[in-house]
Amino acid sequence: MGKRLTRIYTRTGDAGTTGLAGGQRVAKDSPRVEAMGTVDELNSHLGLLLAEPLPADVAGVLRAVQNDLFDLGGELSWPGHALLDAARIEALERSLDALNARLPPLEEFILPGGGRASAQCHVARSVCRRAERRLVALAADGGGDVSGVALAYLNRLSDWLFVAARILAREAGRGEVYWQSGRGR
């Protein structure tokens, strides 16, 4: 373990910059910091989801994902250093396949809902998609150090969260909420 924080405030960010792991200072609204912040936001939403009663297999994956997202944040904070590897994507895919095998084929579009845990899982899914967009934007903005593994991981994680939301809706006994075209008019 690296340095322990003994004091939370440093005043070094008061002028609108923040420090990266390598010591560089960047604007707090830079594409890199925006990507880091969105990954952190996603992790916070997963923490909120974990506060709900969840099946053990779903909770176990979410705890592992929280650690992966912290690694991803570290990657983003330390340009050029890869912390996530393809094995983490494969683990998500195995879990995704196992969860999906418990569900009937998807024949309708699903709206967020189906119970508190399912709805929170959908919120996390949508934040995950935004985090993926932020990484793509960072890569396009000259952050060529964004790894393909990181992008693929977030893409797979959003798929996993969608399927987990379906599972959670069914486990809550509320069922999935299906989109009905024109119903809101």
- CA–CA separation, 156 vs 162, rounded Å? 10
pLDDT band, very low/low/confident/very high, at 145 (cuts 50, 70, 90): confident
CATH code of the region 24-176: 1.20.1200.10
Average pLDDT over residues 160-183: 91
Number of other residues whose CB lies within 10 A of the CB of residue 56: 7
DSSP tally for the chain: helices H, then strands E: 5, 4
Q: What is the dihedral of CA 164, 169, 170, 172, to 10 degrees?
A: 120
Domain ranges of the chain: 24-176
How many Å apart are CA 151 and CA 80, to the nearest integer?
Answer: 15
Residue 118 has pLDDT above 90, yes or no: yes
pTM of the model: 0.90
Higher pLDDT among residues 148 and 143, named by residue: 148
Supply the pLDDT for residue 9. 67
* Residue 12 scores a pLDDT above 60: no
- Gap between the Cα atoms of 138 and 105, Å rounded: 36
